[in-house]
Amino acid sequence: MTEADGHFTHHAQPFAFGPVELHGLEVFLAEPLGPFRPPAEGGGGVGNCLACHPPPDFTDHGFHTTGASQEGYDAVHGAGAFLALPVPDLAARRASLDTFLPASAAHPDGSGRFRALPEAADAARADLGLWNVFANPDVPAPQAALLDVLCPEVAQPACTAAALLPRTLARFKTPGLRDLDDSAPYLHDGSAPDVGAVLAQYQQVSDLQRAGALRNGDGRLAGVNLGPGRNPGPGSLPARPGGGLPVGPPGAVGPGVSAWGWASSARPGAPWPSSPRRCPGSA
């Protein structure tokens, strides 16, 4: 590795991918090549991370629902609660901006209840991310750009603010993953203390997405299969003793990400942890 490679321009230290980091990169880059096969049947080893975190910045600069809001809400209110959370449509939101939208200069009494951390005492509080911004008359600047991003997802006649609003529910901007090791905690609410927690969440929400139980979930998540195993189909990765992605410790998940955490906390080449770590409070 040299500076000319474009990697690691900020770390003045020698660097080369070890076997753990290299396998993490393989999983990060692996796309689903065949029908989903559960880890119990030998499937796995597919990050599909590239679908939303493409190089060079490892972000598509888009907005996706990847489940952090639902996981956080359900951890407080019980499994399935986020699916049942009542959310107004555009007309109902317009009729009562203070009730539903965050405070602004024009609406200083805005409750912000949908841009809030979940609370046991108030089930109306949740974080719906982009929903708070899209078609919000008090945030005019990004609206045209948001329409550019969202409209291609629906048929043109359906590209109205009323039709798009539900599609913004719990979406967040894809963060870049460069220098990830220096930016913990992760996710929009800081709920993931380390990369292992992020991966455990992807494992869970991809199961939810496949079960049709992730509210407004991004279809790309159905291709995430982090269990031990390998990608079926042509061009799949060579088998590696022990199987899939190291979900537990902060390890190599991507191009250079968290390589330092792994290097300092585990021996490169050590056996992969076999059981995935679960987020506290999740099933």
Q: Which residues bind ligand HEC (CB under 6 A)?
A: 28, 47-49, 51-53, 64, 66, 68, 172, 174-175, 177, 180, 183, 186-188, 195, 198, 202, 218, 220-221, 224, 253-254
| Closer of 136 and 209 to ligand HEC (Cβ) | 209
Q: What count of Cα atoms within 13 Å lies in the side-chain half-sphere of residue 12?
A: 0
Q: How far is the CB of 40 from ligand HEC (least distance, A)?
A: 19
| Residue among 86, 27, 33, 17 at smallest CA distance from 229 | 27
Spatial contact of 148 and 164, defined as CB atoms under 8 Å apart? no
Q: How far is the CB of 190 from ligand HEC (least distance, A)?
A: 8
Q: How far is the CB of 86 from ligand HEC (least distance, A)?
A: 22
Residue in the structure block whose two tokens are 């209840």: 113
Q: How far is the CB of 121 from ligand HEC (least distance, A)?
A: 23
Q: Say which residues have a Cβ less than 8 Å from residue 136's Cβ, sequence separation at least 6.
A: 101, 104
| Closer of 97 and 187 to ligand HEC (Cβ) | 187
Please name the amino acid found at residue 29: L
| Closer of 65 and 111 to ligand HEC (Cβ) | 65
Residue 16 CA from chain centroid, whole number: 27
Residue in the structure block whose two tokens are 């539900």: 166
Q: How far is the CB of 282 from ligand HEC (least distance, A)?
A: 15
| Closer of 97 and 170 to ligand HEC (Cβ) | 170
